[in-house]
Amino acid sequence: MQKAVILMGSKSDLEFSEKIRTTLSSYSIPSDIRIASAHRTPEYLLKILKEYYDSGDEIVAVTVAGLSDALSGVVAAQRMFPVVACPPDLDKYELPKIFSTAFTPSDVPVAFVSDPAKAGNYVAQIFALSNMELRNKIAAQLNEKRAQLQKLDLEINRKA
């Protein structure tokens, strides 16, 4: 089974994380939202990660952590599954936030995505690599958007 695990550093990130889950749900991708802190509960975080690894499921982790965002790097350092970091406080901290999230050692890969809907879409694209049904759904959505834009273009040009 393919599943996304949304790991939050604290409960205050729940509303932001639910936006990621909403996008995942639009693709029928199951997801769990968990709370674990790399600073406050590192042993518990590692226990959660091991449970998902041992499940045998295809997992993509989405980390949602504020401030220094050690969560993304610690999860990625385990090398168990891909990590997509989507920080909830990018607007507040800007460049320092990007640095703390994305600048990890070369063998600790973290994908940085700035928007919760984009994070969900990115996870869907990862799973679509091995899921033809999901790949077809994404392609159909893309074709629908293209058709909408072309229709709008024709409408505008007819009025001119």
Question: 60: part of which helix (H) or strand (E)?
Answer: strand 58-64
The single-letter DSSP state of residue 121 is H
Cα–Cα distance list, 158 to 27, 71, 144 (Å): 36, 53, 21
CA distance 75 to 108: 9
CA distance 128 to 65: 26
- Per-residue tokens: 42: 């590192």
Q: What average pLDDT does the segment 115-136 reach?
A: 98
Query: Model confidence at 48, in pLDDT bands (50, 70, 90)?
Result: very high
Query: Model confidence at 104, in pLDDT bands (50, 70, 90)?
Result: confident
Whether residue 93 has pLDDT greater than 90: no
Q: What average pLDDT does the segment 84-111 reach?
A: 85
Cα–Cα distance list, 155 to 139, 144, 150, 159, 160 (Å): 24, 17, 9, 7, 9
What type of residue sits at position 41? T
Helix, strand, or coil here: 87?
coil
What are the two backbone dihedrals, phi and then psi, of residue 33, each rounded to the nearest 5 degrees? -115, 125
Contact by Cβ (8 Å): 38, 9: yes
pTM: 0.91
Q: What average pLDDT does the segment 41-62 reach?
A: 98
What's the number of CA atoms in the CB half-sphere (13 Å) around residue 92? 7
Which is nearest to 127 in space by CA: 49, 71, 61, 74?
A: 61
Which is nearest to 7 in space by CA: 80, 56, 98?
A: 80
pLDDT on residue 101:
81
Q: What average pLDDT does the segment 110-115 reach?
A: 95
